[in-house]
Structure formats: structure tokens, C-alpha cells
Amino acid sequence: MPKDIGQLFHDETKYHRHRMPRGSGFRFKDPEPFKTYPNPLSVVELPPPDEEGGIPLWTALSRRRSRRDYSAKPITREQLSQLIWGSYGVSGRYGTYYLRTAPSAGALYPVETYLVVNSVEEVEPGLYHYNPPKHNLEQLKKGDLGKDLARACLGQGMVATASVVFVWTGIAARSKGKYGERAFRYIYMDAGHIGENLYLSAEALGLGCCGVGAFYDDEVNQVIGVDGKEETAIYLGTVGSLL
Ligand SMILES: Cc1cc2nc3c(=O)[nH]c(=O)nc-3n(C[C@H](O)[C@H](O)[C@H](O)COP(=O)(O)O)c2cc1C
């Protein structure tokens, strides 16, 4: 790896008042604003989320902590629905745009949500992809993937004991057409907003949550079935019932 590649990336993607980049030099043909899997193993419909109420915001902020010890009690399908919507669900429309609970640079929404379900009531363990406009889950794999995912996350036990693990990927093409290489900054920022939304949603439901940035990238990509180039895992979040 070139020395100081992080600094180089930061320098090369800076905006300067008198020297703005002239675009990325290429355009993608209308990249899809969200991904769908045409032939899932099954589709899990989620109950409509509550869009009002919950605990006061200041309470959620002051209580929020990273919680890594979970009980074996499964979370409910209603809680799962609320967590997904709260972190990155659809909360409005603007023309053809589906606006989400997390902000996104240029409203391009380059982040996709996958779930490794370990123990959720009425939802079979396995791998799922979230379809935001339909608010449902496309099942991609069946079975217990928690241990494989934990191994891919440097052996972090909470990944296997959590009820559900959110895996967020980035599809750079969605943002690069507008922002060029600077898009990568925005994709990570978007993921940070989504992660905090998950923390606060979990807190509001009385559940524990922890962000996970330490993982073997290609091993996580393999578990969720993405190529690591056009689409790659960028951040994860575990959620489970508290002890
Ligand atoms: C980008 C990011 C990556 C993180 N990765 C991990 C991780 O891999 N494992 C872990 O146990 N905690 C992880 N954390 C949680 C931090 O350790 C935690 O936020 C920090 O210690 C502050 O504690 P608090 O969240 O309870 O306030 C991560 C947090 C962030 C924001």
C-alpha cells in the first residue's frame, strides 16, 4: 500500500475555492437508487413502523452507549421493523426521490442494508437484504451465519450473540457520477449517520447496540455475497436484548 494513502486521498479529494474538480469525467447511466434482488428465497413483510412517539430524543442521546453483552431473548419482528426504519428507512418523497431517516449527500443513498438474523421472532435465521420502498426483507441465505460473520469481524463474540447484525455496504457508482473520488468521503459519512440512527433506535426500544468497524473486509463481503469492488461492506451494527 502506498505510504500515507489516507493523507493522499484526503488531499486529492479536497475542494479548493479557486480550483474545483471538473467532475469525475464519466457518467453512469442512471444508477438504480436502491438495489433489489429479483429472485429471493422468500420475502418477509415487516409491520409498519411507528413514525411518532418513542422516548424523548435527549434521553436517547444521554443514555446511548455501545452495548456488547446480549441475552438469548430474541427481539420481535416489530422491533426489527422499527430498527430498520429508524436507521435508514423511507420517511418522505421528493419527486422521484425516496427520502430516508438518515441524510445522504446529494440524496443519492449509496448505502445498502443487509441483515444477518440470528434470533428474531417469526423471522428465520439467515441473510436478508432490505428493500426500502417496500419496507420488506429479501431472504438471500438460510441458516446460522452469525458465527461466520463473527469470525469475519476479528472474532468479536457479540456478532454471534446479537439477535441481528446490520451490514451496510457502499455502492460507489451511485455517488461517483456526481462527486468523483470525493464520493468515498460521503459514503462513509452517510454510513456514520445510519449507524447513529441505529444506536438511537435501539436505545428507544430498550435494546443494546454496538457499531463494528473492525472486520476482514473480503470475508464480510463473502458472507453477504457482494464483490468487494462495485459493492463493499463499510460498517456493521449489532443489536440484541439486554441482559
Ligand atoms: C466507526 C466505529 C467503529 C467501531 N468499531 C467497533 C468494533 O469493531 N468493536 C467494538 O466493540 N466497538 C466498536 N465501536 C464502538 C466504540 O468502541 C465506542 O463507540 C467507543 O468506545 C465509545 O463508547 P460509547 O459508544 O459507549 O459511547 C465502533 C464505533 C465506531 C463509531
Q: Residue 115: inside a domain, yes or no?
A: yes
Number of Cβ within 10 Å of residue 50's Cβ equals: 13
Contact 190, 110 (CB under 8 A): yes
Please work out, in degrees rounded to the nearest 5, the angle formed at the alpha carbon of residue 147 by the alpha carbons of 142 and 153: 115
Partnered with residue 74 across adjacent β-strands are: none
Q: Determine if ligand 1 sits within 6 Å of the CB of residue 142.
A: no
> Closest Cα to atom 28, ligand 1: which residue?
211
Q: Determine if ligand 1 sits within 6 Å of the CB of residue 209.
A: no
pLDDT at 19: 87
Contact 218, 228 (CB under 8 A): yes
Contact 86, 49 (CB under 8 A): yes
**Residues ≥6 apart with Cβ < 8 Å to 30:** none
Q: Determine if ligand 1 sits within 6 Å of the CB of residue 212.
A: yes
Contact 143, 150 (CB under 8 A): no
Give me 26's grid cell: 464519466
Ligand 1 centroid from CA 160, angstroms: 17
pLDDT at 26: 47
Place of cell 461466520: 148
Share of the chain above pLDDT 90, in %: 91
Q: Determine if ligand 1 sits within 6 Å of the CB of residue 234.
A: no
Q: Determine if ligand 1 sits within 6 Å of the CB of residue 214.
A: yes
Give me 62's grid cell: 444521554
Q: Residue 16: inside a domain, yes or no?
A: no
List pLDDT tens digits, range 46-99. 999 999 999 999 999 999 999 999 999 999 999 999 999 999 999 999 988 999
Distance CA 82, CA 97 (A): 21
Q: Residue 161: inside a domain, yes or no?
A: yes
pLDDT at 30: 54
Q: Residue 24: inside a domain, yes or no?
A: no
Contact 216, 46 (CB under 8 A): no
Domain CATH for 85: 3.40.109.10
Contact 113, 211 (CB under 8 A): no
Give the burial class of 78: count Cβ atoms within 10 A of its Cβ; 0-12 exposed, 13-18 middle, 19 or more buried.
Answer: middle
**Residues ≥6 apart with Cβ < 8 Å to 208:** 67, 68, 69, 70, 202, 239, 240, 241, 242
Residue type present at position 190: D
Please state, in angstroms and as integers, the Cα–Cα distance from residue 12 to each residue in 15, 25, 182, 184, following that order.
9, 15, 8, 12
The total number of structural domains in the chain stands at 1
Q: Determine if ligand 1 sits within 6 Å of the CB of residue 211.
A: yes
Q: Which domain holds residue 166?
A: 40-241
CA neighbours closer than 13 Å in the CB half-sphere of residue 121:
10
Q: Residue 19: inside a domain, yes or no?
A: no
Ligand 1 centroid from CA 104, angstroms: 22
Q: Residue 17: inside a domain, yes or no?
A: no
- What is the C-alpha end-to-end distance of the chain, expressed in Å? 43
Q: Residue 26: inside a domain, yes or no?
A: no
Distance CA 112, CA 131 (A): 9
Q: Residue 31: inside a domain, yes or no?
A: no
Residues of the chain predicted below pLDDT 50: 25-28
pLDDT at 147: 98
